[in-house]
Amino acid sequence: MSGLLLFAACNTFPSVLVKRRAMRIIGAMAEDADPDYLPTSVQLARMLDRAPGPRVSIGWLVEQLGRRSFGLTLLVMAVVGFVPGASTVIGVLMAWPAIQMVLGHETTVLPGLVARREIEVGRLAPIIGAVAPRLAWLERLIRPRWPPPFHITKRLTGIVMLLLGLSMVVPVPFGHVVPALVVMLLALAYLEEDGVALLLALVAAVVSLGITSVEVWGTVETIDWIDPARPR
């Protein structure tokens, strides 16, 4: 494990046992990994070894993940989307990667202003040190399986993402929770290239959109019952 990751782990986990366990998990994932496939947790852990300097741009980070960059973008959006006040903004921003998926892009293309923004490696290391072990645990459940759906359903997934983003904007109490969960599952599917998880996420998206439709209809009916329109 790199010195940067070791430093990150030491500053993230208070318990020595937890630190050692986290490093063992990532090490085991690297040893058991298919030579043609590197788990995202291992890729993240090794990413800063290739840092060109003490500061790296967000565009450089996305470039290192390659085709998995969609998964990372969606995962960040899903986590932030759980915050009630931020869910509306995230719902709008979700159109950016969704449209790129509809257009068939292989990787996420960030706006120039965002891509050029730089982050200090020293500040990024503890974050990766905290995320990588947890992602390694999830990789025991979500792993590379059945790749064809990613090539067949990319545009369909983009359309679903647009609809999920729209459902997060709808002003329904707690209406953002289920769509955010579905986006998180989609993100993990793309991060680990798990076709089975992708299909499950698409099915869950249909259910989520159905729930949102029912909630909107129920809200409209409730408002109409409380304050019925007066005939002219």
**In the chain, what percentage of residues exceed pLDDT 70?**
79
Q: How many helices (H) and strands (E) does the chain have?
A: 13, 2
Nearest to 218, CA basis, from 177, 163, 170, 182: 170
Q: Chunk the chain into consecutive blocks of 10 residues (it has 232) and report each block's average pLDDT, rounded to whole numbers.
A: 42 40 49 61 78 85 80 82 80 87 83 82 80 81 76 82 86 80 87 85 90 79 68 50
Q: Does 232 fall in a domain?
A: no
Residue 147 forms part of a structural domain: yes
CB contact burial 94-119 (16+ within 10 A = b; e otherwise)? bebbbebbbeebeebebeeeebeeee
Range of the domain at 152: 3-224
pLDDT at 6: 40
Separation of alpha carbons 216 and 211, rounded Å: 9
Residues 6+ apart with CB under 8 A from 53: 121
The verdict on residue 152 lying in a domain is yes
For the chain, the domain total comes to 1
Contact present, 144 and 192 (Cβ < 8 Å): yes
What pLDDT does residue 1 have?
A: 44
Whether residue 190 is contained in a domain is answered as yes
The H-assigned helical ranges of 84-176 are 84-93, 95-102, 112-115, 121-138, 148-152, 154-169
What is the pLDDT at residue 229? 57
pTM value is 0.69
209 with 100: CB under 8 angstroms?
no
For residue 114, what pLDDT is reported?
Answer: 76
- What is the per-residue pLDDT for 2? 43
Q: Is residue 124 in a domain? A: yes
Could you read off the pLDDT of 56-67 as tens digits, one per residue?
888 888 888 777
**Tell me, what's the pLDDT at 204?**
92
Q: What is the pLDDT of residues 64-96, one digit of tens each?
A: 877 778 888 888 888 888 877 788 888 888 888
Instruction: Identify the pLDDT of residue 214.
Output: 83
Residue 68 lies in a domain: yes
Does some domain include residue 229? no
Does 215 reside within a domain?
yes
pLDDT recorded at residue 177: 85
